[in-house]
Structure 1
């Protein structure tokens, strides 16, 4: 029997844990040495991935009961313009090289997206190992990561604040309290369930430390996750819900002036840190971070909050999707004065033309309609561009998780 005929697609179960882990480590070239560098043993990482098989939707191709290709979809939720969306987090994507170029991953992705649609996960996120590959599958960049490097003599001067900072265990409950409040207020952010928190901590160094800012009423308003190594203060995440907490946490960082030579960290917005510093001549680099794709345009639009207006508005567009037939064709969006939208099929074929990637990044406000029109990704009249600019809210997507 030929290899193609032997292959069968099926759902992975906890009994497939070892094979699942072996394929992940092979594809991502994770060695035992790499694991020991972050304090992991092979058995520990295998057991750590068990919740994935128990809680996520994991499918793969088997050749005579041998797992040869796989992907996993996490059941997550994200906030998009103050609306909570069920999101399918795509991860664990891999195929052994001897089974490459057989279309196995393409079929797995189509099935995974169909399953997401069935589960009402109208949006999917992923961290791309190859931006061009996932763009061909309909995903597009929707968030950035900014890395900064601040020398010790550039650290901000201490500002007077009413609260105080306490160093605590990284599992302290107030970290989750602050993050939840922060996530609900920030566009595109993850609402972290237990599975999401597990992935968030997975690869951390053993000496990670947490510091929480409490205001004068003893309410947690921000936190800092960090470690110090070779006189460098490394920031994993800095989260705050107001400016007082931001100042308080930077006071804490600056208090390490005599201990460190520099501070290195990441932020996940378009706002440069340099502007907030007296000495703004710091090193900052911006790189694309996460990608997303609309899984079901009708489901997604039904939840999407367009900006309110004095008059109802109508937008017709022809949509192309490289994988999903239910996202292809002519659609018309009817938006009420309150910003509530409904989507129907049909309309003027020549009104607007765009693909699923462009629609996704535009509705996330990562790239605006005017820019997308100028670079040829959004084909429509200038009047339509102006209407879309007025319909779509403007806010920078924030996403700091990794899975």
Structure 2
């Protein structure tokens, strides 16, 4: 999750090229039902936005192919009779401005009836209004910043900004608190140094950790910030080492934290680095090497490989040799795409797409309820998932191993 975020579940340029709007699809507004002569039915496009190259691409690709597998399954099972689902993926490169441009492009494509993504919360802030203006549903498998669904003043008065925005990932309010509780009561840590990357996801997550760690009896003895793209953390490492902290909490993505933890351990500060789902990827361990041993993250839900419903998904992902990391948000992306697919099934009958299909799909998603790969999929009055499960993972013998799953109730 996730930011440049992300906050763990979008598609490569090659697939995007194959998913571009077909001229035979026509326009709903013109009365053309989107007939696709190659399949003899109606083509409905599910847009995907995520970083498919550059920063965060490992997790971004997991979103892409999670949605792709969902579309393939729907087509194979004829989930919506007369409808063929295609995926149109756009690369936002973890940049908010690019995400906004992608949102505009997806809105302009008349065959797009729903969008999965983005990965990064900071990107989402620039996309939400574009989709809301067009009544186009957006479901993120990875965004965790509370304000996206509950408004800027969510800590005092929750107000939903956009009825078109939903997510299958739970929020940083719970994730940051879950981490703080485990650090204080599970690891018995007393003194935390807190660092963030100044982005929506990272700064928000770090703020919540600080608040909840103090309420759990811990002490935050130092705070600092880094910039996205930084690679030399020597000055910061010295501060952390000299502070006497027994744990470092980092709010941000794996790109910087995987280097920070290595430089920290190389300097002789053998304390664990604890972060959020933006770090939860095998890439973190591969880059940090032995320095990652003992580091921790929180992530949404429970381990995918423990969910019976997700076994076929995982097997398919591996068999297709898709790139990226399915373990962080892949199943949540599959579930987000499936929610859109099921909503389309409520709206498109006999292959006929009504002129207000997008608005109807939004309403149908709000009412959705089904058993997904990641658990029960339904949304509350803010568009947040009702599945509040979280898991702490720790690097053990070079792999992420789950150490605790559960829910968290913030302390006031």
Q: Which has the higher contact order (CA 8 A, sep 6+)?
A: 2
Larger strand percent: 1
- Does TM, normalized by the shorter one, top 0.5? no
Instruction: Specify the structure having the higher radius of gyration (Cα).
Output: 1
Instruction: Give the TM-score normalised by the residue count of structure 1.
Output: 0.27
Larger helix percent: 2
